[in-house]
Structure 1
């Protein structure tokens, strides 16, 4: 597993297919703060809760100068369906070979019901306009994570 990213390091570049049929790259956000969150699987209860929390808090995040991007190992078609059903107004990116998740230390060993396997580690990284990591959170919980992130970023909960 790649060593976890810490504030101050340069965020690994990426360009991935998105749910809208195009490609989204980290470079598209140059000069802007971006919240990149990794989630295991679209349309599952925890991932839906987290995505909807980002959707419901998007206006306040954007007012504070943050864009949001979600990344999962799901294929584009599944992401498109998820974005449409949940009315998600931010890019969802497909990282099927989990190369970007690996570069961000968001892919690794997990344990569930006594079994150990390789999978996506729910993580959120905030990248500043210069492409540097300003906040890195690993093993986050789906429920309540956006509220904690807003507190950590000192964003008014209005």
Structure 2
């Protein structure tokens, strides 16, 4: 699973199923260091969780505006599919706030993208053409259709879960 840092010491992740199954979560940073994480908040319906690690000076992901995405916009999914570190897949936005069952069996607010998300992309960033985070990859729902939790939903989750600490 891939994670990303939105706030210093706070790592939002997708796949709360992983966190529920492995209540002890370890976060590995790009510099090779590993940290035990504390679960700060989770939302199983959204399939995201916020973790806290004891580390300082961490780089954070620049945030984009998922509400500004339109069908046809170029997006990139980063992750470690099948253990291949640093892999990137490119695709286009199919729909934003997609809730139709044929694309989104969960009926949660999602970004539907035309790219193949694979095991190892989950929890990783979905970025726009400027490299800004617009979503967190969560699942593949059909041939070449992936879903991501929109960053505006992630921000709302962090604000509700962490209050002023999310600012």
Higher normalized helix content (fraction of residues)? 1
Work out which structure has the larger RCO, using CA pairs closer than 8 Å and 6 or more positions apart in sequence. Answer: 1
Higher normalized strand content (fraction of residues)? 2
What TM-score do you get using the length of structure 2 for normalisation?
Answer: 0.27
